[in-house]
């Protein structure tokens, strides 16, 4: 079984935020890198109406511990295809980070039906896996 990855046809082609098959969403996982408030509002609102576990990774490009967690997040998104994963750069969407009261990175928030269930603050892959397993049922 090979992994399918969606890639842009041209390097300078803008990625459409409204299509589920963009570069930010792979067929083998549910990892969405959110770069606009509009996309965030649309996707987050839609997730509130389902019983799907949502994992939101608040990160920053300059954050060392965030880089340590990145492989764990990607692996979890590939493994747990029944869970929706979002990656939000706090420098790009600071107002979203404020809404979730994020004051340290990485902060990973687990939600279901629009309600926060749990969070992991810091580079703690084992704790994240434990909490995902706990809340995905």
Specify whether the CB–CB gap between 88 and 56 falls below 8 A. Answer: yes
Show me where the domains of the chain are located. 31-135
pLDDT in tens, the chain (137 residues): 333 322 233 333 333 333 443 434 333 367 999 999 998 999 888 888 889 999 999 999 999 999 999 999 999 999 999 999 999 999 999 999 999 999 999 999 999 999 999 999 999 999 999 999 999 98
Among candidate residues 66, 76, 105, 109, the one labeled active-site is 66
Q: Enter the CATH code of domain 31-135.
A: 3.40.30.10
Cα–Cα dist 95/130, whole Å = 29
66 is catalytic: yes
Count of residues making up the chain: 137
Kindly name the residue from 34, 53, 55, 63 that is annotated as catalytic: 63
Please confirm whether the linkage preceding 6 is cis (ω < 30° from 0): no
pLDDT value at position 47? 86
Rg (CA), the chain: 14
What is the rounded distance in angstroms from the CA atom of residue 113 to the CA atom of residue 40? 16
Phi and psi, residue 27, nearest 5°: -65, -25
76 among known catalytic residues: no
SS3 of 55, please? strand
pLDDT of residue 63: 96
Q: What gap in Å lies between CA 71 and CA 14, rounded to an integer?
A: 25
Beta bridge partners of 56: 86, 109
The predicted model scores a pTM of 0.78
User: What's the pLDDT score for residue 16?
Assistant: 37
């Amino acid at each position: 079984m090979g992994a399918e990855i969606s890639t842009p046809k041209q390097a300078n082609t803008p990625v459409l935020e409204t299509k589920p098959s963009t570069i930010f969403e792979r067929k083998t996982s549910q990892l969405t890198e959110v770069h606009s408030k509009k996309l965030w509002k649309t996707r987050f609102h839609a997730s509130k109406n389902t019983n799907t576990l949502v994992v939101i990774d608040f990160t920053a490009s300059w954050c060392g511990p965030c880089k340590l967690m990145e492989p764990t997040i990607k692996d979890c998104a590939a493994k747990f295809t029944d869970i929706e994963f979002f990656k939000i750069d706090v420098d790009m969407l600071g107002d979203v980070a404020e809404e979730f009261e994020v004051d340290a990175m990485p902060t990973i928030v687990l939600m279901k039906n629009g309600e926060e269930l749990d969070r992991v603050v810091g580079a703690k892959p084992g704790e994240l896996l434990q909490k995902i397993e706990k809340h995905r049922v």
